A and B are shown apart, each in its own frame.
Chain A
Amino acid sequence: MIKLNRLKSLIWLRWQYLMSNKGLLYIGIGMPIGEMALLSLIPNIHGNAGFLSFSLNFVYSITSGSFISLMIGEEKEKKNLRTLILSGVKMKEYTFSVIIFPFIFSIISCIYFPLLFGVHISSWPVYIFIIVSECLFFILANLSIGLFSKNQVQASLFTLIIFIFVTLLPILLELTSNELIKNIIEWSFIGINTKYFIELEKFQISNISTISILLWIFGMSILTRYAFAWNRKEHN
Chain B
Amino acid sequence: MIKFKNITKEFKEKKALSNVSFNVNEGDIFGFLGPSGSGKTTTINILTGQILQDSGQAFILGKNSTDISSDDLLSIGIMSDTVGFYEKMSLYKNLEFFAKFHNIPNEIIDDLLKKLDLFEDKEKKAENLSTGMKQRMLLIRAILHTPKILFLDEPTSGLDPTLSLKVHQILFHLKNKGVTIFLTTHDMNEATKLCDNIALLYQGEIIEYGAPKDIINKYADDNKVVITFQNGKEITIPKEETANYLGEFITSIHSLETSLESIFIQLTGKKEEK
Q: Contact residues of A with B, CB < 8 Å?
A: 5-6, 8-10, 12-13, 16-17, 20-21, 78-80, 82-83, 85-90, 232-234, 236
Contact = CB atoms under 8 A, between A and B. Distances in A.
B124 to A, nearest CB: 13
Contacts of A78: 84-87
Contacts of A82: 50, 82-84
B62 to A, nearest CB: 17
A17 B93 CA distance: 10
B73 A87 contact: yes
Contacts of B52: 233
Contact of B49 (A21, A80, A233, A236): A233
B51 A233 contact: yes
A86 B86 contact: no
Nearest to B72: A88
Contacts of B70: 85, 88-90
B51 A234 contact: yes
A90 to B, nearest CB: 5
B241 interface: no
Contact of B82 (A9, A12, A17, A79): A79
9 contacts: A12-B100, A20-B86, A78-B87, A79-B84, A85-B73, A86-B83, A232-B49, A234-B45, A236-B11
A35 B93 CA distance: 34
Contacts of A8: 100
Given A232-B50, A234-B45, A234-B51, A17 B86 contact: yes
Contacts, number: 77
Contacts of B84: 78-80, 82-83
Contacts of A10: 101
Interface string B120-159: 0000000000000000000000000000000000000000
User: Which range contains the number of B residues in contact with the other chain?
Assistant: 20 to 34
A233 B73 contact: no
Contact of B97 (A9, A232, A234): A9
B88 A21 contact: yes
B51 A79 contact: no
Interface of B: 11, 45, 48-52, 70-74, 76, 78, 82-89, 93, 97-98, 100-101, 103
A156 to B, nearest CB: 19
A20 B82 contact: no
Contacts of B78: 86
Given A9-B101, A79-B83, A86 B73 contact: yes
Nearest to A94: B70
Contacts of B71: 88
Given A12-B100, A83-B83, 18 more contacts: A5-B103, A9-B101, A16-B97, A20-B86, A78-B84, A80-B84, A83-B85, A85-B73, A86-B48, A86-B50, A86-B78, A86-B82, A87-B98, A88-B70, A232-B49, A233-B49, A233-B51, A234-B45
Contacts of A89: 70, 101
Contacts of B82: 79, 82-83, 86, 234
B177 to A, nearest CB: 20
Contacts of B74: 87-88
A80 B48 contact: no
Nearest to A23: B88
B193 to A, nearest CB: 28
B105 to A, nearest CB: 12
A99 B14 CA distance: 41
Nearest to A78: B84
Contact of A88 (B49, B73, B97): B73
Contact of B50 (A9, A16, A20, A234): A234
Given A80-B86, A86-B82, A88-B70, A12 B50 contact: no
B10 to A, nearest CB: 12
Contacts of B93: 16, 20
B89 A17 contact: yes
B51 A16 contact: no
B97 A12 contact: yes
Nearest to B100: A9
A72 to B, nearest CB: 13
Nearest to B84: A79
A220 to B, nearest CB: 22
B83 A16 contact: no
